[in-house]
Amino acid sequence: MNDGSSSISRPPPASPADTGLFSVTTWNVNSIKARLPQVIEYLGKYSPDVVLLQEIKTEADGFPFFELQAAGYHCAVKGQKSYNGVAVLSKTPVNVISDTIAPEFADQARYLEVEQNGTRFICVYVPNGQAPAAEPDDTSRLDYKIKWLDALNARAGELLKSETDFVLGGDFNVIEFDSDVYSPAAFKDSAFTVPAVRQRFKAMYFQGLTNALREKCGDAPLYSYWDYRAGAREKNDGILLDHLFLSPKLADKLAQAAVDGEMRDEPKASDHAPVRCLLSLT
């Protein structure tokens, strides 16, 4: 049965030369069609080697392959009509390993795992988990989110056990610390902060993964999301939701990490800014 999701991989023209640093970006673009000019601008400005995109909000047939190939990127896409959707852009070819975290979650396009030259790149869009406004006591979405995070931790554990090098990045929809949000009180007991969700996020550290932003930026307040409403960006009322996790060998190569917040100030910007890390190849 067609569930509105699809996956596909297509090659572009030749990519630029290696610079000695390998750059990986994660970015919730909140519609690739609406944000294509900003994405093209970002690719030209930062020249990332791999980009993990979330909330592309289109099936593969509507994805802008031509424009991104012209910018020098191969594209692997797990699309879904109007909602969710993830994609990986890469300067060199990738093989799609999996486009679902587990069979029971195949109805939503939230996971894409690809391989490039022996390294895995995993793009995730973790479920929000908030109850419907009309049914505030409904916990089904939160239960789904918790099970999804359990499946993600299980997959990370499998890759760590096999000593596979991998980058795991995306929009995690988790507020790890109160300092990661402009108003902790506003999100108290929400699906972003409940202990069951935070514990599963922290489990990635316990398994041996390194959070690139934490490693290079410490615990200083840092945001990657600002709501469109109430002048949130202007007031810096933000939340840190987007992260890049590295397996041990790649963590040893981590050189830099940053939130490219200026992209949030672009006209018709996504409500998320890109998060980027640089790995030393020498």
Model confidence pLDDT, tens digit, residues 268-280: 999 999 999 999 9
Please give the model's pTM, rounded to 2 decimal places: 0.93
User: Does the pLDDT at position 11 exceed 50?
Assistant: no
Q: Which residue has the tokens 């023209």?
A: 13
Q: List the end-to-end C-alpha distance of the chain, in Å, as a whole number.
A: 48
Question: For the domain bounded by 5-280, which CATH number is listed?
Answer: 3.60.10.10
> How do the domains of the chain map onto residue ranges?
5-280
Continuous segment of H or E residues that includes residue 212: helix 212-217
pLDDT at residue number 19:
66
Provide mean pLDDT across the span 158-163: 98
Q: If we measure between CA atoms, which residue out of 252, 96, 232, 80 comes closest to residue 165? A: 252
Share of the chain above pLDDT 90, in %: 88
The pLDDT confidence band at residue 3, using thresholds 50, 70 and 90, is very low
Higher-pLDDT residue of 103 and 221 is 103
pLDDT at residue number 134:
80
Provide mean pLDDT across the span 168-173: 99
pLDDT at residue number 219:
76
Provide mean pLDDT across the span 235-264: 98
Provide the b/e sequence for 203-235 (b: ≥16 CB within 10 Å).
Answer: bbeebebbbbbbeebeeeebbbbbeeeeebbee
pLDDT at residue number 183:
97
**How far apart are alpha carbons 193 and 175 in whole angstroms?**
6
